[in-house]
């Protein structure tokens, strides 16, 4: 994973749709470590209607997370792995680990949970270093994307 080799590390996932989340939908970057490339973020918010009128129901990720661990890829391109997941958990509404605010000045809604990911970007590859740099540069404005069927 993220070795920078020319072989495609994983095939494209057929019929996979993507949903972006950003600070506008809540969540976002929690921390980043320049020495290790480790990032913690809420990459998806559950329990609230988002900017495109979608609702991800709390508990949605339980089955998937029991079967597999997400991978970080650049621009939905499965040939360009950027990060490995160190930890992933779906935090339910009311979890004390959720941020205090969903957007600056707006309290985190009681009905909202989030998909927490701790990942490590491969800073040894151009894709990994670029992706990490973008996450740091955009900070709270970083957009994350989840794939789903």
What are the DSSP calls for 35-91, one per residue? TTTEEEEEEEEESSB-TTS-BPPTTTTHHHHHH---EEEETTEEEEEEEEEEEEEEE
Q: What are phi and psi of 48, to 5 degrees?
A: -135, 150
Output the pLDDT for position 15: 53
Q: Is 101 helix (H, G, I), strand (E, B) or coil?
A: strand
18 in Cβ contact with 76 (< 8 Å): yes
Output the pLDDT for position 75: 81
Output the pLDDT for position 140: 78
Output the pLDDT for position 14: 53
Output the pLDDT for position 24: 42
Task: Give this prediction's pTM.
Answer: 0.81
Residue 9, Cβ density class (10 Å: 0-12 exposed, 13-18 middle, ≥19 buried): middle
73 in Cβ contact with 131 (< 8 Å): no
Output the pLDDT for position 2: 32
Distances (CA, A) of 110 to 25, 29, 36, 51: 15, 20, 34, 18
Show pLDDT as tens, one digit a residue, over the chain (149 residues): 332 333 334 445 555 444 555 444 456 889 999 999 999 999 989 999 887 788 899 999 999 899 988 889 888 888 889 999 999 999 999 999 999 888 778 899 999 999 999 999 999 999 999 999 999 998 878 888 877 66
Distances (CA, A) of 22 to 97, 102, 106: 19, 10, 15
28 in Cβ contact with 22 (< 8 Å): yes
């Amino acid at each position: 994973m993220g070795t920078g080799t020319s072989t495609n590390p994983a095939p494209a996932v057929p019929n996979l749709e993507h949903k972006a989340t950003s600070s506008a939908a809540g969540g976002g970057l929690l921390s980043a470590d320049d020495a290790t490339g480790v990032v913690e973020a809420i990459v998806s918010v559950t329990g609230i209607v988002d900017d495109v009128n979608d609702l991800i129901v709390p508990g949605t990720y339980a089955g998937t997370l029991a079967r597999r661990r997400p991978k970080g890829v650049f621009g939905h391109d499965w040939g360009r792995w950027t990060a490995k997941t160190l930890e992933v958990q779906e935090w339910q509404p009311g979890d004390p680990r959720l941020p205090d605010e969903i957007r600056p000045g707006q309290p985190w809604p009681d009905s909202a949970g989030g998909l927490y990911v701790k990942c490590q970007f491969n800073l040894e590859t151009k894709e990994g270093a670029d992706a990490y740099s973008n996450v740091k540069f955009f900070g709270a404005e970083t957009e994350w994307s989840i794939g789903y069927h």
